[in-house]
Chain A
Amino acid sequence: MIYSRQEDNRYNKDMMIEEEKFLKEQIGTKNPFKVPEGYFDHLADTLMERVKEQPLAPICTIEMPFYRKTHFWFSAAAVALVLGVSGLFYLNNDATTIDESELIASQESVSGDMYFDEAADYVMLDNTDIYACLMNE
């Protein structure tokens, strides 16, 4: 009789389940080991005493990615450019009048975006940053 590979795999899996079931029924999975009384109560203190005897690990520093280092200056340059072009356009175009309140609103919106970007940078901590904070506490 020719068995397909799939049937063969299923047969092997069934056999394993049977054998695993046999072990779990016959012996069980109970932890057969025990520890001296109160061992876990003092374990962390004992371990920390041993650890404190060791030299300090070099402080881990997290290198900030280039885009995050320069992000603020790129944003600032973009805002300055937009304001500069808008100003030139306003001065050179007498026919077009811009309502002052609109200009203030647009500036507030731009500075609001900048603030949002900076805040987002702080909030977007990844795993590495979190672990680094924990380790450097």
Chain B
Amino acid sequence: MHQGFEIMVRQYSEQLYWRIRRIVLTHEDANDILQNTFIKAWTHLNEFHGESSLLTWLSRIAINESLDFIRREKKHAMASTDDADMGVANQLMADEYFDGDAVEAELQEAIAQLPDVQRTVFTLRYYDEMKYSEISRITGTTEGALKASYHIAVKKISEFFHRHD
């Protein structure tokens, strides 16, 4: 049983890491969430019945874990003002595992301001060029709603950049 699971871990861990990282932004958080994702998959293996692919099932767990993490962080940020004033872009520019320039950091800040569904569909579509049908299987949201969310996300991010020009 461990052997079968290990094959799955080796095959999908890197792909899942990047999906998580684009939502939570820092390496430490992405690493923790990836571990939680596989532990959850292991302890809930009996709930996988093969209706979707393994990667879709794992992506669903990973994205839910990432969004839960972000919600917890938001609550925590409202309670304390430690990093809140610094802004996402500035935090990223100070992060040793961020390799982008100031404009790319601004894009991450704009993405971070989006609501959950828009944020998820934007990262999966913009960076992974994932089809709406696949995003729909992962998120359980209809393709029509996802297209609308992506459209709104693109519009908000464009406006963010026009404002900062």
Contacts and interface: CB of A to CB of B under 8 A. Distances in A.
Interface stretch (B74-82, B95-103, B131-139): B95-103
Nearest to A43: B13
B127 A31 contact: yes
B60 interface: no
B4 A50 contact: no
A69 interface: no
Interface string A123-137: 000111011101111
A62 to B, nearest CB: 9
Contacts of A23: 107, 126, 154, 157-158, 161
B9 interface: yes
Interface in A17-68: 19-20, 22-23, 26-36, 39-40, 43-44, 46-48, 50-52, 54-60
B45 A35 contact: no
By secondary structure, the A interface counts as helix
B105 interface: yes
Contacts of B99: 32-34
Contacts of A60: 45-46, 48-49
Contacts of B98: 32-34
Given A27-B107, A50-B39, A135-B5, A43 B17 contact: yes
A27 B103 contact: yes
A51 B42 contact: yes
A16 interface: yes
Given A27-B107, A51-B5, A35 B154 contact: no
B2 interface: yes
A106 interface: no
A58 B47 CA distance: 10
Interface string B16-50: 01100110010100000011001100111110111
Given A31-B127, A36-B97, A47-B38, A135 B13 contact: no
Contacts of B10: 44
Contact of A131 (B54, B101, B127, B158): B54
Given A33-B18, A39-B27, 12 more contacts: A20-B154, A22-B161, A23-B158, A31-B18, A32-B101, A33-B21, A40-B17, A48-B2, A50-B38, A51-B2, A127-B50, A131-B54
